[in-house]
Amino acid sequence: MENVVLSVHLILAVLLIGVVLLQRSEGGGLGMGGGGGGGVMTGRQAANALSKLTWILAAGFIVTSVTLTILAARKAEESSVVDRVVAPVEAPAETVPAAPAVELPPAAADAPVTPPPAN
């Protein structure tokens, strides 16, 4: 579910950027100068269409943003990330019992040293 909403969110973001970049700052829309007569859309009609499309895409973007926030909040736990990383200070340290002493035979100090065999 979250992946679907995230995909729609990204598509809306790219479309919103494209529609905003198509608009002229004066409201001409699609780079039309407003001159000339016989087109299907005049400059004002194109500006109105792009303006409406911008509002629709912006509303969809906000809805998907809120939806992603709600989905992320449901997955979150009650504890903080810091609580999971830092070990609790109050926990007593475990005591390790001492290993039993093992007696080793004494090293022979006067044992003859034999040289390695020659090849």
pLDDT per position as a tens digit, 68-119: 999 888 887 666 667 667 655 565 556 666 777 777 666 666 666 676 777 6
Amino acid at 111: A
Place of tokens 């989905």: 71
Domain ranges of the chain: 2-33+42-75
Q: pTM of whole model > 0.85? A: no
Tens-digit pLDDT profile for residues 7-41: 999 999 999 999 999 887 764 555 555 554 555 55
Q: What is the pLDDT of residue 11?
A: 96
Residue 112's SS3 state is coil
Q: Where are the alpha helices (DSSP H) in the chain?
A: 2-22, 43-75, 81-85
Is 19 in contact with 50 (CB distance < 8 Å)?
yes
Q: What is the pLDDT of residue 13?
A: 96
Burial of 64 (0-12, 13-18, 19+ CB in 10 A): buried
Amino acid at 74: R
